[in-house]
Amino acid sequence: MAAFVQVIKNAHRLQLTKLGLFTAAIMAALSVTAYAAGSPSPAPVVNSLGGSVSPQLTSSFPTGNEWCNTLSQAECVNAWGGGPLIKTYPGGVVNNDYFVAVQEGTGPCGGYSTTSNCPWSGTPSGLPIVQLEFEGSGQYSGDFIGDYGNSSTDAKAGLVGYNGWGTNFILYNDPSQCGSNTPWLLINTHWSPSWYNAAGLGSFANYNGKQLYNNSPPQCLSNE
């Protein structure tokens, strides 16, 4: 009986994964057609993390300090006006685009990486858990992207202090779904209910000043 139940669960999980991949493909197609010819369009939104996983180890961290949703750096993660809100702005802006992936503290799984089924059911082991530290100037220098106002109920991305709410992200490298130019997903450990329904840094749009959120379908990003 237990074996039969497990077969049913596995079949259900496979169907959810296929549905997530199909949905991601549709959303990616819509995002391309929604903009005028010649305008940069956001990289696809990924709603499913199914499929095989090759853990992205800490030694392979991206070395850039700009996280952008298109290779052309059309819209990047930006400390708006120096902070605290995190919005979109073209890459190359001095100070306000400088975010480096670091590892501080022990993280939600007692270390610097995920373990089997931690922080949620279905999570593979060995994926790095990082914080995005703002290295620009001003009063928020050295703060981290987290939940605005350090509020556990506000998913707007904002700069907060060390170990604040929403500051832990799983750094996931998925070129198979995202493409080789924008392979990174930042999955928020506070807002994701499960590995198969991940939420993270997203809500990019094709204009300046778009507020980013930590509970959006995580979007594919470049690191430059």
The pLDDT of residue 39 is 41
The pLDDT of residue 134 is 94
The pLDDT of residue 44 is 59
CATH of span 2-223: 2.80.10.50
The pLDDT of residue 104 is 82
The pLDDT of residue 26 is 34
Integer CA distances (angstroms), 39 to 136, 154, 208, 218, in order: 29, 32, 13, 22
Q: What stretches in the chain show pLDDT beneath 50?
A: 1-40, 50-59
Write the burial class of residue 141 (CB in 10 Å: 0-12 exposed, 13-18 middle, 19+ buried): middle
Give the largest Cα separation in the chain, rounded.
Answer: 62
Q: What is the dihedral of CA 149, 151, 157, 160, to 10 degrees?
A: 50
Report whether 46 contacts 173 (CB < 8 A): no
Which amino acid is located at 123 in the chain? T
Record the tokens describing residue 82, joined without a space.
């120096």
Pick from 44, 34, 61: nearest CA to 221: 44
Q: Three-class SS of residue 10?
A: helix
